[in-house]
Amino acid sequence: MTQRNYKATGINLKAMPMNESDRLVTVLTKEWGLIRAIAPGSRKHKSRLGGRSGLFVVNELLLVKGKSIDKMVQAETQQSFPKLSTDLARLTASQYLAEIALSQALSDQPQEELYYLLLEHLKRLETASKPNILPCLAQATFHLLALAGVAPEVFHCALSRAPLEIELGNPDWKVGFSITSGGVVKPAEIEKIEGDRLQEAQQQYAEYQQERLASQSVHLSNSHGRAAEASGAYSGSSDSESRPSAQMSSAERRQATGLKAKVSKEVARNLGIVDYLSGFELALMQQLSKPELIMMSASLTFPPAGTIGSSQQPLAESGPHQMWRRIEKVLRAYTQYQLDRPIRSAELIDTCFTAPTPVSQTYAP
């Protein structure tokens, strides 16, 4: 970008006041990636750049390159998303996606794929019914992660690489989601790691106990010797030896009881296990990789896809809204781990979707 004046088509993802009447706008353009530009006078009541510098407005821009910040000279609106600002849930979900896009986008490089992908999902959020906003947000997040090459693994175990065979008819079937391993993990693999770590911890504890018993034995021998010299009697030695032994046995039992739980927590922390997903939740998560998301009513059966198999089970008692909330929280934790920063809009997501709402029958973008 060597010329002083240049054109670009982009969407406003961030805006903040600057000086008394200006606004600093961060724009995702398909030609030049992220651009930070001043919209002069845009905060004035009759400014031509006022509405054009608002959030989620797509403009064809004429800009003047500056030393650190460019200047917006002209803007012609090509597209806008007015419904996003009329509903708190839509607006929050849109800002959620904008934060992810801002973290992924590069400057001085074409970002055409990211640009069009974001516009597509903003359009879906704007037209989706209220109950479908959360599923649309989850799929948009998944697609943005896939574009960056860091989509979570949901079809194979992230540790063993073995394919996942979902048992929809088994209510006890579940998989862990590991943010550090990059996706879902079979419980058997987690248990294997826990077993190895438990064996190591038990060996370390046994060595510690041996050292402690040896130290106590030396201490008792010295104490009994001094007592025998002073009184000439050593008859009470058996009782005094039995008490520490009984105390150690009790301490060892208590330690063994809590050791497995501590090891399980340690393994979960190291693997970054944020939650466990049921068969239905994983099946829904596998649908996120598809170009379009088919929303099913709670009274309908879930269609087989991927590794789901041919068996169908009703979602009537499964709570679709609650499942989508869990999926969004899992994806949120994974996205924040990949971006190495929090998603600030996520706090409002929890507020917007606290009460369950029925999922509509279909969604067509």
Nearest in space to 184 (alpha carbons), one of 279, 119, 310: 279
Is the predicted pLDDT of residue 58 greater than 70, yes or no?
Answer: yes
At 181-240, the pLDDT tens digits run 999 999 999 999 999 988 888 888 777 778 878 887 776 666 655 555 555 444 444 444
CA 312/CA 92 separation, integer angstroms: 34
CA 104/CA 289 separation, integer angstroms: 19
Is the predicted pLDDT of residue 133 greater than 50, yes or no?
Answer: yes
pLDDT at 243: 45
What does the pLDDT average to over 122-128? 96
Nearest in space to 14 (alpha carbons), one of 42, 32, 36, 41: 36
Give me the sheet containing 183-185, strands edge to edge.
183-185, 174-178, 273-278
Only one residue has tokens 């106990």, namely 209
Alpha helices, DSSP H only, in the chain?
88-104, 112-127, 133-147, 187-231, 237-271, 279-287, 320-339, 346-352
Q: Measure Cα distances from 76 to 58, 108, 311, 349 in Å.
A: 8, 22, 53, 32
What does the pLDDT average to over 162-188? 96
Amino acid 293 reads: L
User: Could you give all domains of the chain from N- to C-terminal order, each with its CATH number?
Assistant: 1-80 (2.40.50.140), 83-185+271-365 (1.20.1440.120)
At 81-90, the pLDDT tens digits run 999 999 999 9
Pairing assessment for the beta strands 33-39 and 57-64 based on DSSP bridges: unpaired
pLDDT at 294: 76
Cβ–Cβ contacts within 10 Å for residue 259, how many?
14
pLDDT at 252: 63
Is the predicted pLDDT of residue 2 greater than 50, yes or no?
Answer: yes
Helix axes 133-147, 88-104, angle to 10 degrees: 0
